A = this chain, B = another copy of it.
């Protein structure tokens, strides 16, 4: 056969540099790569392939890239809501983590999160948590693509009871997973400037830099954090990180809400990247990151859901919709973050933010074959004047029917092909029953 997979009869939203849209197109996949993307003529035979998929006039687009997750936290989905951040963390999340996070719960909850993401169109995520080795194995089993970082924090953590070993554990993870699986890129994830010392941060960043790895960190998420860092170091959290040498083009700053103009200039100058998590930030009442200004400053901004415990789902379509609307109302300007820009944030810019833009994030020949198909034959998607508008403002994760990662079909007609989801849900429910019982 000429190709492994051919997808035809779809509206191809390429998200290539010209944002080309092919009204009726075909995508040909060979050896895991996008080989040919172009118009499709009904009178011409569909190229021969082992698997031929008729998109039935639906939207074919790059798989979505979620730049910030804590995959195992789906275990705590909806455990506690509508609470002040510190009550939520100290009275619910931290105690539950210390009691119920272990290799088996991490494995099951990660598979659950991957299932949810695959079913709703996300093909790549960037994660940071504990027992990340289990996360990596589960991600591989699911067929998704991911950048993964073992969490570093200067407190006892699940799997790392002695914080003295936090960097060692994180580095071992990167060594174990470097080059093992094409779909997993190791990374280092430091929790935040208020939970890691300057020494920890510098050491972790130096290691990441020496190995050319992405360095992820939560920063400037809450007003409290900004005030705390200010009172301790007399600068904003972003300036503090810059002062100790953390910011460069391989640094992903997650949240970045409480920033000033100088912070933005610094981020732009260092070419550090931002992960914007509007649903988590609004649910926790943290604040609204100045995303339109970031973009104006030339900073790369990807979208993220954050963990399921503060969202409470991983549906990236809802995240796109929220991002587009939140910044419009926040600036009283309905033209900011237009649908095309938000799609870029959810695909190519997200891929760039986590260092994978040469591999994924757009449908271009030579890139890895990560794509999804959105069915448009539902009442809520009729009529369709502009597919770009529909992706952001109308479609839901449940409209995604097909998902291909690395040239492999991992979801077809809404069914997961890589895992026994019934058993995974049962396993997670068994643990959740214990959590609910206290």
Residues of A within 8 A of B (CB): 74-75, 77-79, 81-85, 88, 112, 115-116, 119-120, 223, 279, 281-288, 311-315, 318, 321-322, 324-326, 328-329, 331-335, 338-339, 377-380, 382-386, 389-390, 393-394, 396-398, 421, 424-425, 428-429, 431-432, 435-436
Q: Which of A115, A279, A385, A394 has the most CB of B within 10 A?
A: A385
Q: How far is the CA of A328 from the CA of B88 in the complex (A)?
A: 15
Judging by beta carbons under 8 Å apart, are B334 and A82 in contact?
yes
Q: Give 18 pairs: A residue, B residue, CB < 8 Å, sorted on A.
A: A77-B384, A78-B383, A78-B384, A78-B393, A84-B334, A223-B332, A279-B325, A283-B325, A283-B328, A283-B334, A285-B331, A285-B334, A287-B332, A312-B390, A383-B432, A383-B435, A385-B432, A396-B396
Nearest chain B CB to A74 CB, angstrom units: 8
Q: How far is the CA of A311 from the CA of B390 in the complex (A)?
A: 11
Nearest chain B CB to A260 CB, angstrom units: 18
Judging by beta carbons under 8 Å apart, are A425 and B394 in contact?
no
Chain A interface secondary structure, helix, strand, loop or mixed?
A: helix
Nearest chain B CB to A226 CB, angstrom units: 13
Q: How far is the CA of A223 from the CA of B311 in the complex (A)?
A: 31
Judging by beta carbons under 8 Å apart, are A425 and B119 in contact?
no
Residues in B with CB closer than 8 Å to A83 are: 334-335
Judging by beta carbons under 8 Å apart, are A334 and B287 in contact?
no
Q: How far is the CA of A322 from the CA of B323 in the complex (A)?
A: 11
Judging by beta carbons under 8 Å apart, are B421 and A379 in contact?
yes
Nearest chain B CB to A258 CB, angstrom units: 12
Q: How far is the CA of A326 from the CA of B379 in the complex (A)?
A: 27
Judging by beta carbons under 8 Å apart, are B329 and A396 in contact?
no
Of the residues B82, B396, B425, contact of A397 by C-beta under 8 Å: B396
Q: How far is the CA of A279 from the CA of B322 in the complex (A)?
A: 9
Residues in B with CB closer than 8 Å to A382 are: 74, 77, 112, 425, 428-429, 432
Judging by beta carbons under 8 Å apart, are A282 and B338 in contact?
no
Counting from the closest, the 5 A-B pairs by CB-CB distance are A383-B432, A282-B325, A82-B338, A398-B398, A282-B329
Nearest chain B CB to A66 CB, angstrom units: 14
Judging by beta carbons under 8 Å apart, are B82 and A314 in contact?
no
Judging by beta carbons under 8 Å apart, are A285 and B116 in contact?
no
Judging by beta carbons under 8 Å apart, are A389 and B81 in contact?
yes
Of the residues B314, B321, B332, B380, contact of A119 by C-beta under 8 Å: B380
Nearest chain B CB to A288 CB, angstrom units: 6
Q: How far is the CA of A315 from the CA of B395 in the complex (A)?
A: 10
Nearest chain B CB to A160 CB, angstrom units: 25
Given contacts A285-B331, A287-B332, A311-B393, 10 further A-B contacts (CB under 8 A): A77-B382, A77-B385, A78-B383, A81-B389, A282-B326, A312-B389, A379-B421, A383-B431, A396-B398, A398-B398
